[in-house]
Amino acid sequence: MSDRKWIIRAKRADFYALAEKYHIDPVVARLLVNRDIKEEDFEDFLHPEEAAFHDPYQIEDMNQAVRVIIHSLEEGHKMRIISDYDVDGVMSNYILYTGLKRIGADVDYVIPHRVKDGYGISREIIDNAINDGVTTIVTCDNGIAALDAIQKAKAAGLSVVVTDHHQVPFSIENGVKKHILPPADAILNSKKETCKYPYKELCGAGVAYKFVECLYDKRGIPKEELELFLDFVAVATICDVVPLTGENRLFVTKGLPRLRFSENVGMRALIYANELSDMTINVGHVGFRIGPCINASGRLESAELSMELFLETDRVEAFNKAKDLKEINDERKELTRQGVDKAHELVKDCEDDKVYVIYIPECHESLAGIIAGRIREAYDRPVFVLTDSDNAEVLKGSGRSTDEYHMYEALKECEDILLKFGGHAGAAGFSIERGKLDEFRKRLNDNCNLTEDDLVCKVMIDVPMPISYVTEGLITQIESLAPFGQGNPKPLFAQKDLRIRSAKILGKEQNVVKIVLEDEEGFVGEGIYFKAAEFTDNIINWFGQEEYDKMLQGWLNNVMLNVIYYPEINEFNGNRTVQYKIIEYSMATIREVL
């Protein structure tokens, strides 16, 4: 049963005119408007398979970056890639490493250890590169904030190309924001204030792909070979939770179908290890099964294990490596469960705060962000989780935010008491002296301008739509807007005052309830809900045991629900029927919010 506030998205437009112009249902037109898709982009969004990528040379510094690499190549210089240790970092690294090898570069890679080295390029990594005879460094999914390390590299005579997608650091001088760029030879990041690239939300792998596209162009490599990287960019785009709009949606649309038949031996092994070989792989499979296995290596072991998997060409060895990653992820899931349980216990100590700051000493520091995300989802608050580090006097933390709270800017306001920090609006990481934890918590909450309304758990409804309006054709049109994810959420619909004619508890674990719904006009449809025990308790508590028993028997009863649902096609024994997947329900009237 829902305890969230139900809110209708109130975007305005002539939905019927848009529907007629683009040959779509008015409901679909409304969904596009709700997602802030501009009318000039409707065709590309509705038909992504026909859309084209932007010209990569529009990224500022692209020509200079290509010149640096070509010069290093022709001079026989040794190159080194420095990546992040998450999914996006590994995918970016694989794309750059494979691409540079393809054009004949002498290149290797380094992936910093999450705990021992910390995020991104560092002075120590520069020292190691110098000692190893490296003369050209390429970063991926990091580098934009590495001012000190890149200054050291340049002072030592190294060439540096930064490929990144994170926010550019800034300072505030006399009330004016001033961006701070590292002194690299070239910086490929569409978020640079001066970059005119049309799309600003590429993940690190997307930027790496664009860079390799230009390198292939200059070296005469067939453009078709770039398609070998599309499944890698798709995985990174989904797992880095960047908006699934524009080019990101195009990458996922083109790359996702390739995953099941990936030409990369390691990727196929990982899919097999996760029992996905016979399935049509979707965003959920990537985000909750494939991606976490890649991430887990960087959290509990070394991300180089994942990189080695994707460079493996022997099928047996690849499967063994994929199986190892899955086992590491299984361990990660259990440790995460323990951490989330502990965090829930500790929430009572800060439940009156607008920003939750939770200290879990025994938590593995690499899991702090995941735990923060789970607590954020449960309480709809910005959450920072801190843990002990190798240094007894230093705590490390990771945060996950709500839409209304800019986490990086919040940390920026506390930078005088932080040892190090970075991130963006939705997520951030930092380190702080142990003795300043209480001050940190107080400062964050004193500075927080979230209103009481911001702190109310909400669910956004796209359209209050009668179940009788739904047809197979409409469902097909709605599904054409997939893949759904960040920036393109799965559409939600609602109808009030639906009578429950009957219900059945199904499934081996009796965890599914199939419901026959009837509206005020007498239209009957079939709904399904996947929390049967909770449903049973709520119906009995609200309407009573007698009415619940009548409902199960299919007898006339007084059970009525307001529902939020998503329509889908149910295929069984060759028959196709419309089914309403119930997302949330309420026994109380929803007239006030609808």
Domain match, 531 and 419 both:
no
Report pLDDT for 114. Answer: 83
Q: Which amino acid is at 258?
A: R
For the chain, helix (H) and strand (E) counts, in that order, are: 21, 19
Domain match, 395 and 477 both:
no
Residue 413 lies in a domain: yes
Q: Does residue 116 contact residue 124 with C-beta atoms inside 8 Å? A: no
The DSSP H or E segment spanning 506 is strand 493-506
Domain match, 132 and 111 both:
yes
The residues facing 420 across adjacent strands are: 431
Residue 26 lies in a domain: no
What three-state secondary structure class fits 186?
strand
Question: Looking at 391, 417, 447, which one is the last position of a domain?
Answer: 447
Instruction: Give the CATH number of the domain where residue 410 resides.
Output: 3.10.310.30
CA neighbor of 307 nearest in space, from 106, 111, 80, 113: 111
Per-state percent for the chain, helix, strand, coil, to nearest 5: 45, 20, 35
Sequence-ordered strand ranges (E) for 292-417: 356-359, 383-388, 394-400
The DSSP H or E segment spanning 214 is helix 204-219
| Cα torsion through 321, 322, 328, 333, rounded to 10 | 180
> Exposed, middle or buried by CB within 10 Å (0-12, 13-18, 19+), for 259?
buried
Domain match, 151 and 100 both:
yes
Look up the domain containing 484 and give its range: 5-9+458-586
Residue 232 lies in a domain: no
Domain match, 374 and 510 both:
no
475: its two tokens: 């469902």
Residues of the chain with pLDDT under 70: 1-2, 588-594
Residue 339 lies in a domain: no
Domain match, 80 and 166 both:
yes
Assign residue 423 a region: left if phi > 0, alpha if psi is -120 to 50, beta otherwise?
left
| Cα torsion through 156, 161, 164, 166, rounded to 10 | 40
Q: Does residue 279 contact residue 227 with C-beta atoms inside 8 Å? A: no
What's the number of domains the chain is made of? 3
User: pTM to 2 decimals?
Assistant: 0.90
CA neighbor of 85 nearest in space, from 300, 398, 310: 300
Report pLDDT for 10. Answer: 86
Report pLDDT for 1. Answer: 55
Domain match, 442 and 462 both:
no
Domain match, 169 and 195 both:
yes
Instruction: Give the CATH number of the domain where residue 561 resides.
Output: 2.40.50.140
453: its two tokens: 């309304």
Q: Does residue 491 have a cis peptide bond before it, meaning omega lies within 30 degrees of 0?
A: no
Domain match, 387 and 479 both:
no
Residue 344 lies in a domain: no
Residue 281 lies in a domain: no
Question: Looking at 202, 227, 252, which one is the last position of a domain?
Answer: 227
Q: What's the rounded Cα separation, in Å, for the pair 97 and 173?
A: 40
Instruction: Give the CATH number of the domain where residue 214 resides.
Output: 3.90.1640.30
Residue 268 lies in a domain: no
Domain match, 526 and 394 both:
no
Domain match, 93 and 219 both:
yes
Residue 512 lies in a domain: yes
Report pLDDT for 591. Answer: 35
Q: What's the rounded Cα separation, in Å, for the pair 311 and 324?
A: 15
Domain match, 468 and 487 both:
yes
Q: What's the rounded Cα separation, in Å, for the pair 176 and 27?
A: 43
Q: What phi and psi values does residue 224 have, to the nearest 5 degrees?
A: -60, -25
Question: Looking at 417, 447, 477, which one is the last position of a domain?
Answer: 447
